[in-house]
Amino acid sequence: MTGTLISVAPTGAESAKADVPALPCTLDELVSTAKACQAAGAGLIHVHIRDDDAQPTLDVGRLTASVEAIREATDVVVQVSSGGAVTDSYDDRLRVLDANPDGASLTCGTVNFGADVFMNPWDLIERLFLAMREREIVPEFELFDLGHVTTMRRLLDKHGAPFGGHVHADLVMGVPGGMPGTIQALTAAVQALPEGATWSATGVGRTTIPVMLAALAGNGHLRVGMEDTLTFAPGRPVRDNAELVERAATLAHLAQRPPLTPDEAREMLGIKDRRPRNQTATRTGAR
Ligand code: KMH
Ligand code: ZN
């Protein structure tokens, strides 16, 4: 049994700021969220950004500034979304790697996404994987369905290990159109992962808590955040991302698998340390 990596996905591309005022959309909101979440136990942040009108964007200049600002203010692993929004072009999704993140998400198949379709054809998956390896960016394989596990394995069989040499997957469960957030689906997906892979899980909406408890019991890691969960308890909106991280950290402690520090997360995932040297020296070992 190891400690628990707690990843936070604070923003996503689907919720509107007008409906969810606590959603971090500006650079300041994103950086203060990253700081608060690190203090609460997060080791990694999964970044989607918004434009001045709080609409999802993949603008590379803006994304680069966000990656740099989070890196400057915290020690968390900075992972950008290569999934973007369902409306984003493949070229724009490839260009997010220019923001020089530590890691990037890599969804391993197309999936119905509510009334939309999140498109991830094989050719795009290969291009993202190879571009990440060339740039020494560690992928996190986003798996929304059991078939995505098969596609990830096919990718690894064809192209070999990702940068860093380690395979880490995130099971995104409970999306309308993807695998359900049940212990049966979780078990099937985990059993299909390659030997030596680590995994985290996140349950969308009402599946948040059962998926979190099942993941802890199964030696998995946790992803939480307002990208996936907007209701803390029935009838009670989430106050902010930090309270979701705090809850995950409390459960991880109860499971006797306390949160990994950002440096422990880096080591487990095989992340190249891009922090400026003085930052690494002053913050090593610090949460
Ligand atoms: N916003 C979803 C369409 C990812 O970040 O890589 C895709 C998504 C996955 O959130
Ligand atoms: Zn995302």
pLDDT, residue 1, reads 64
pLDDT of 286 strictly over 80? no
pLDDT grade for 285, boundaries at 50, 70 and 90: very low
* Sequence-ordered list of residues with C-beta below 8 angstroms from that of 84, at least 6 positions apart, any chain: 13, 48, 56, 58, 92, 93, 96
* Nearest ligand to the CA atom of 56: 1
Strand 103-107 and strand 168-173: pairing?
Answer: unpaired
Q: 110 CB under 6 A from ligand 1?
A: no
The pLDDT tens digits of the residues spanning 199-208 come to 999 999 999 9
Check if 120 has its Cβ closer than 6 Å to any atom of ligand 1. no
The CA-based dihedral angle spanning residues 70, 198, 90, 29, taken in that order and rounded to the nearest 10 degrees = -20
Q: Provide the pLDDT for residue 278.
A: 66
Dump pLDDT digits (tens) for 150-176. 999 999 999 999 999 999 999 999 999
List of residues 6+ apart from 47 with CB closer than 8 A: 11, 30, 63, 66, 67, 70, 78, 79, 80, 81, 101
Residues with Cβ within 8 Å of 281's Cβ and at least 6 positions away in sequence, in order, are: none
Structure tokens at 84: 């973007």
Can you give the pLDDT at residue 26? Answer: 98
**What Cα–Cα distance (Å) separates residue 233 from each residue in 206, 229, 230, 236?**
9, 10, 9, 5
Ligand 1 atom at shortest distance from the alpha carbon of 113: 3
Does residue 10 carry a pLDDT above 90? yes
User: For a pocket test of ligand 1, which of 107, 116, 119, 170 has the largest count of ligand atoms closer than 8 A to its C-beta?
Assistant: 107
Cα–Cα distance, 77 to 275 (Å, whole number): 10
The stretch 6-23 carries a mean pLDDT of 98
Q: How far is the CA of 106 from the centre of ligand 1 (A)?
A: 9
Model confidence at 281: pLDDT above 90: no
What's this model's pTM, rounded to 2 decimal places?
A: 0.97
pLDDT of residue 277: 76
